[in-house]
Amino acid sequence: MIRSIFRKHLGRKGHEICLGLIAGLLGLLFLFMPSGVTAGSALTINQINIERFPEIRIYLTASDERGNPLWGLNTARFSVQEDGSDVEVRKIVPLGGEKEPLSVVLAIDRSGSMKGQPIKDALKAAKGFIREMRAIDQVGVISFDDHVTVVFCLSSDKDALYKAIGEIRVGRDTALNDAIMGALEMLSSFKGRRAVVVLTDGKENRSKASREEAVQEAIRIGVPVITVGLGDEVNASALKDMADKSGGRVFFAKESGELPDLYRVIARQLINQYRVTIKSSKSLDGGWHRLRMEVNTVQGKAEVERLYLATLSPILDTSVLGKYRKKTERNYLIKIGFICLVVVLALAIIFTGFMRYKKTKGARR
């Protein structure tokens, strides 16, 4: 019916323009949709290694809607773009076997609100995480209230880790940012696959370090921060921000009894990462470049983007990343504003055509 109205009252050319605008709108909305999790699959770029530049090694997790790792992915399943241009996926290696060790620091909130069953379930979850690790992997543990305590340095000695975790007791406030900084410091001298998993049930209220400082340090040394929020008192946006910017993921548990299963999911995702190798077409120009990855599976399609800095020199100041993000967000808002303008114009054309149709129909009566 609408098509006949357009053809009759806007003319052939007018109705084609209007329909073209609508089709273009749909295309633009699809193009600018945020990437991440779609159709039951999740894709996260955890680390980007450019030590062998122009060869780039991308470490990522791919999981289904329940968080289980996706198996059997090959080069045919992936496509990668660098600054908008397609690049060849040269090699994909699943890392679940005894291929590359993993170093993880667990940061456990032991503030006063964790007293009772929450701390018991948190410690049980930490032990379950360690149980999932392979012989080649290492786990370190820190706890935090208003102070950060090193419970056990990175080790493959599971029994010693279990014993140390069992001695954690609740304290007072929540120095979340300082805990992340402490975990990153423990990992800073290690190479290869690394991650921080931090659990909290409250809001930051005691740290000397700011959230931005913790995020910048994670970016500087290339370590993803996986955040786990327990209960309703957490700062969900802060946890998501830290995870997203560092290459981690955010998880939430309503009850502490969910933590053991959740930690097993996180452990299996990290162990079963994929290493995707591409060859960059860029140079070591010291600038930020955008990698966009897409994976197609039987569960559906997932897309994700991540920036990397094209330099082999140590990164002393990552404040430039914040400026780049602000510029990117500004450009994104401009594009959204343009789309909204086109929507308004299209609706105005549709409304005008409909009113003309009603007026013509009324005159005929």
Q: Give the CA-trace dihedral at 86, 32, 44, 92, to 10 degrees.
A: -20
Distance of CA 38 to the CA centre of its chain: 13
Q: Any idea which fold 102-271 has? A: Rossmann fold (3.40.50)
What's the pLDDT at 33?
A: 37
| Tens-place pLDDT, residues 332-343 | 466 667 777 777
Task: Determine phi and psi for 202, rounding to 5 degrees.
Answer: -145, -170
What's the pLDDT at 26?
A: 42
């696959």: which residue's tokens? 193
Q: What is the spatial distance between Cα 267 and Cα 166, in angstroms, rounded to a whole number?
A: 20
What's the pLDDT at 245?
A: 94
Nearest to 179, CA basis, from 112, 248, 110: 110
Would you tell me which CATH number, out of the four given (2.40.30, 1.20.1250, 2.60.40, 3.30.390), belongs to the domain 39-94+276-307? Answer: 2.60.40
Q: What is the spatial distance between Cα 125 and Cα 256, in angstroms, rounded to a whole number?
A: 9
Residue 82's DSSP bridge partners are 85, 291
What's the pLDDT at 267?
A: 97
Q: What is the spatial distance between Cα 118 and Cα 255, in angstroms, rounded to a whole number?
A: 8
Other Cβ atoms closer than 10 A to 68: 12
| Tens-place pLDDT, residues 106-120 | 999 999 999 999 999
Residues contacting 344, CB < 8 A, separation 6+: none
What's the pLDDT at 314?
A: 56
Nearest to 256, CA basis, from 311, 203, 195, 201: 201
Nearest to 22, CA basis, from 356, 336, 345: 345
Domain residue limits, the chain: 2-31+330-364, 39-94+276-307, 102-271
pLDDT < 50: residue spans in the chain: 1-3, 5-6, 9-10, 13, 17, 21-35, 37-39, 316-321, 323-324, 328, 332
Nearest to 200, CA basis, from 235, 166, 169, 172: 235
Residue environment code for 88-122, b if the CB has 16+ CB neighbours within 10 A, otherwise e: ebeebebbeeeeebbbbbbbbbbbebbeeebbebb
3-state helix, strand and coil shares in percent for the chain, rounded to the nearest 5: 40, 30, 30
211-221 vs 319-364: helix crossing angle, rounded to 10: 110
């998501």: which residue's tokens? 240
What's the pLDDT at 252?
A: 97
71 exposed, middle or buried (CB, 10 Å; 0-12, 13-18, 19+)? Answer: exposed
Peptide bond into 94 cis (omega under 30): no
What's the pLDDT at 335?
A: 61
